Amino acid sequence: MTKRLLAEFVGTFWLVFGGCGAAIFAAGFMSTPTLGAGNPVHLGIGFLGVALAFGLTVLTMAYAVGHVSGGHFNPAVTIGVTIAKRFEWKDVPGYVAAQVLGGLAAGGALWAIAHGRDVFDATGNMAANGYGANSPGGYNMVAVLCAEVLLTMFFVYVILGVTRESAPTGFAPLAIGLCLTLIHLISIPISNTSVNPARSTAVAFFNGAGAPGQLWLFWVAPIIGAAIAGATFHLITGIDRRDRDITGSVRREDEVVPEGVDPDAPRLHR
């Protein structure tokens, strides 16, 4: 369990540091003009670059440590796969704590690095999620709530689907990373994209500007979306792997299989 929690801490740290870091440092970067060279040139990566950064963090960490912990890096994912009976409830608090702490550590690191420039003001500039005045596109609370629920629901559907037994081996992290990229391409203008309570918590308090007061939505909406996906996936797809975790391993590792019983036969969830 210690290794699993460390893997979740490191994976969530990388997700926040890479994704939010791209938004803070690189999204709108302007070149410094040389003497007599005219106006600054926009060299930033924009929304597309930030979306790719978030997807790549999950893809790389899923390959790096996903075999250790399942590669959740997200409290909503942990809760969603638990409701799908692909994870144990007793392990949820530890996973969520590790994810939140990993995210906060990354948020602190980003805040410290950003202050390496004298002109930096953290208030409103730490890639926090928000609605209303804190939404990049000015979307209201209901719109942001709906987007976060739907996008998290489909994210967890993809995670559960690509970890099914018949899925091509070794490609799950690629599909999950690309799915998260697509989610960001859709919703950065809406809410700055959360679908992950740990990511939202990681920078909200460093960002200020009303972000901490709106943080509740970015816990409630992703968890609702993940819960819907976890509860309905096997009903929609007919794929019932509720005796296995999302890595494909049998959850009861110490289970003794009686002689003559197929060890790969479906097991009833206790």
DSSP of 115-170, one letter per residue?
TTSTT---TT-S----SGGGSTT---HHHHHHHHHHHHHHHHHHHHHHTSTTSPTT
Top-confidence residue, 117 or 35: 117
pLDDT beyond 80 at 223:
yes
Task: Please report whether residue 231 resides in a domain.
Answer: yes
Quote the CA–CA distance of 236 and 226 in Å, as a whole number: 15
Q: Which range, of 119-133, 197-211, 245-259, averages the lowest pLDDT?
A: 245-259
Residue 223 resides in a domain: yes
CA 148 to chain centroid: 12
Q: Give the pLDDT mean for 144-149.
A: 98
Domain assignment present for residue 85? The answer is: yes
Which residue matches tokens 């930096």?
Answer: 120
Average pLDDT over all residues of the chain: 87
Answer whether residue 268 shows pLDDT above 70.
no
Q: What is the pLDDT of residue 243?
A: 58
Mean per-residue pLDDT for 219-231?
A: 97
What is the total count of domains within the chain?
A: 1
User: Cβ(226)–Cβ(141) under 8 Å?
Assistant: no
Task: Report how far residue 255's alpha carbon sits from residue 233's, in angstroms, rounded to the nearest whole number.
Answer: 26
Distance CA 119, CA 115 (A): 8
In a domain, 266, yes or no: no
Residue numbers of the domain that contains 199: 2-237
Distances in whole angstroms, Cα of residue 109 to Cα of each of 9, 162, 171 = 14, 33, 31
Show the tokens assigned to 44: 């930033």
Q: How confident is the model at residue 42 (pLDDT cuts 50, 70, 90)?
A: confident
Report the length, in residues, of the chain. Answer: 270
Inside any domain, residue 153: yes
* CATH number reported for the structural domain that contains residue 220 in this entry: 1.20.1080.10
pLDDT at 270: 22
In a domain, 247, yes or no: no
Give me Rg for the CA atoms of the chain. 20
Express as a percent the part of the chain with pLDDT over 90: 71
The model's pLDDT over 149-185, given as tens digits with 9 standing for 90+, comes to 999 999 999 999 998 766 677 889 999 999 999 999 9
In this structure, is residue 254 part of a structural domain?
no
- Helix and strand counts by DSSP (H, E) for the chain: 9, 0
CA distance 110 to 14: 11
Could you tell me the pTM of the whole model?
0.84
256 has a pLDDT exceeding 50: no
Question: Which residue reads 């009686």 in tokens?
Answer: 258
Q: Which amino acid is at 80?
A: G
Tell me, what's the pLDDT at 252? 47
pLDDT above 60: residue 136: yes
Mean pLDDT to the nearest integer, 119-144 = 93
User: Is-contact 129 103, C-beta < 8 A?
Assistant: no
Considering the domain boundaries, does residue 249 fall inside one?
no
Contact 55, 181 (CB under 8 A): yes
